[in-house]
Amino acid sequence: MGIVNRRSLHFLDADRLKKRVEYIIKHDATIQSLYRSALSAFFRFAGMFIPVDENMVLFSSFSGKRYDDSPKVLFERMLERDDCADLHFVWAFNRPNDYRLPRTQIVKMHSWAYWRAALSAKFWVTNVNIECGLSFKKKQQVYVNTWHGTGNKSFGNLVPGRNDYDFSTVDVFTVDGVFMADMHHRALNVNYASFVYCGRPREDELYLASQSTRREIRDKLGIPENAFVVLYAPTWRDSLTGGNDYSFEALLDADRVLESLGENALILYRAHSIVTETRGISFSERVVDCSVYPNVNELYIAADLLISDYSSVFADYSILGKPMLCFAFDYEDYVLSRGLTADFRDDITTFYNEEDLYSYLCAFSYREESDKTKRFKAKYISAGGNASDACIDAMFAASKSKHD
């Protein structure tokens, strides 16, 4: 099957060191405070000597890890729009030599070229963070944050011991409904006036997906027409090694899942971008690692069933109205250590042990589970389908308001 090369999810030493430093900063309040105050002051001072370029747009996705998600969609839409013809772009990547993009300067994430671009770009576009926990945005700059999902796991200031996330300077923050807006106001201190109720630009593709789209994608991925495809996409767990790695121990027995669903079943596995290594899954022709596949939407469209846990992929996938199940094998431990912002167990069929899940898969009702997914979407998601243009329009409107 020609889906993607398999990977062990090991990072290079430089990436491991970076994650270790990030872990220390995140978990040590004193170091975190010194980091924020000293570097924020430095960049605010440096910014006094670097003018804002009214036509520059700075992009990053998942802190420079990839060219994907909503920032990619917005960038490609800007290349098409006439009112963006005068804009020029900067993209930040951890491995800048891997990319070539039109009308675009490529810089290395966290290099001086990156920080200079952040100080000079009129527009910032990201799905995570531009300032990397610092605070130096200028009043005339326009900050667009699409975020990357609507989920129920605690994040930001909702995590025990955290009260330092402040996204109050974001000008445009895209959300897919009231649930997401309330959570991000509480977790990230986003102002309600900054929310644009349009969904995430990446998800426009899901709203437009048709049966012909699905057939084309499955053909491209090498999936047989009669295959029943399970997408297993668990979220990440916190590091148990002080930030040296973020491994995931899969308790889902892929062979038992395949046995429960029959000979035409296959599994696509999608690790969270933070996960550095997956253990407990043996990959084969019927169990395929899609963790580095560039477009997760295509995996959603190709799949017949989603299995996840506390991940925001439920919200994405619910747009398609197909069955989804929750395998929460560590529910009590996860709630105690990380916490949840909402209880989805009444909305998504949930299993706490493997045997119950395997038994259910043997004879579950596709229609009943699809109906349950549609009710989930109706409850949590009220906006989406034209987010790209709505977001760009809001970006220009925010810029105009700063000049009025």
CATH number where 67 lies: 3.40.50.11820
In this prediction, residue 33 has a pLDDT band, given cuts at 50, 70 and 90, of: confident
Same domain, 373 and 251: yes
With cut-offs at 50, 70 and 90, classify the pLDDT of residue 403: confident
- Same-domain status, 224 and 114: no
Give the pLDDT band of residue 21 (cuts 50, 70, 90).
low
Q: Domain span at residue 360? A: 205-380
Give me the mean pLDDT over the 99-125 stretch: 98
Tell whether the model's pLDDT for residue 12 goes beyond 80: no
**248 found inside a domain:** yes
Residue-level pLDDT at 18: 65
| pLDDT computed for residue 35 by the predictor | 85
The per-residue pLDDT for 26 is 66
Q: What is the pLDDT of residue 25?
A: 64
Number of folded domains that form the chain = 2
How distant, in Å, are the alpha carbons of 12, 300, 347 from that of 202? 29, 12, 24
Give the pair of three-digit tokens for residue 187: 């977790």
- pLDDT for position 27: 66
Q: What is the pTM of this model?
A: 0.90
Q: For residue 23, is it within any domain? A: no
At residue 6, the pLDDT reads 42
Terminal alpha carbon distance of the chain: 56
Residue 36 lies in a domain: no
pLDDT band, very low/low/confident/very high, at 9 (cuts 50, 70, 90): very low
77 part of a folded domain:
yes
Where residue 11 falls among pLDDT bands split at 50, 70, 90? very low
Residue 20 in this model has a pLDDT that exceeds 70: no
Cα–Cα distance measured from residue 322 to residue 306, given in angstroms and rounded to the nearest whole number:
8
- If asked whether residues 352 and 317 sit together in one domain, one would say yes
Confidence label for 404 from pLDDT (cuts 50, 70 and 90): confident
Clarify whether residues 177 and 213 are in a common domain: no
pLDDT of residue 2 exceeding 60? no
The amino acid that residue 241 corresponds to is T
Distant-in-sequence, close-in-space partners of 56: CB < 8 Å, separation ≥ 6: 87, 88, 89, 90, 117, 120, 121, 122, 123
Same domain, 226 and 373: yes
376/392 same-domain check: no
pLDDT of residue 194: 98
Helices marked H in 209-325 — which ranges? 211-221, 254-261, 296-302, 313-318
By CB atoms closer than 10 A (0-12, 13-18, 19+), residue 400 is exposed
pLDDT digit string, tens, across residues 281-337? 999 999 999 999 999 999 999 999 999 999 999 999 999 999 999 999 999 999 998
Which residues fall within 8 angstroms of residue 184, CB to CB, at 6 or more apart?
Answer: 147, 156, 167, 173, 175, 190, 195
Q: Is the pLDDT of residue 14 over 80?
A: no
Confidence of residue 1 (pLDDT cuts 50, 70, 90): low
216 & 356 share domain: yes
Considering the domain boundaries, does residue 167 fall inside one? Answer: yes
pLDDT for position 53: 98
Say if 81 falls within a structural domain: yes
Residues 289 and 302 in one domain: yes
Q: pLDDT band at residue 243, thresholds of 50, 70 and 90? A: confident
Q: What is the CATH number of the domain that holds 365?
A: 3.40.50.12580
Q: Across all residues in the chain, what is the average pLDDT?
A: 93
As given in the structure block, the two tokens for residue 119 are 């100080």
Comparing 17 with 393, which gets the higher pLDDT? 393
78: amino acid identity, one letter:
M
Proportion of the chain above pLDDT 70, given as a percent: 93
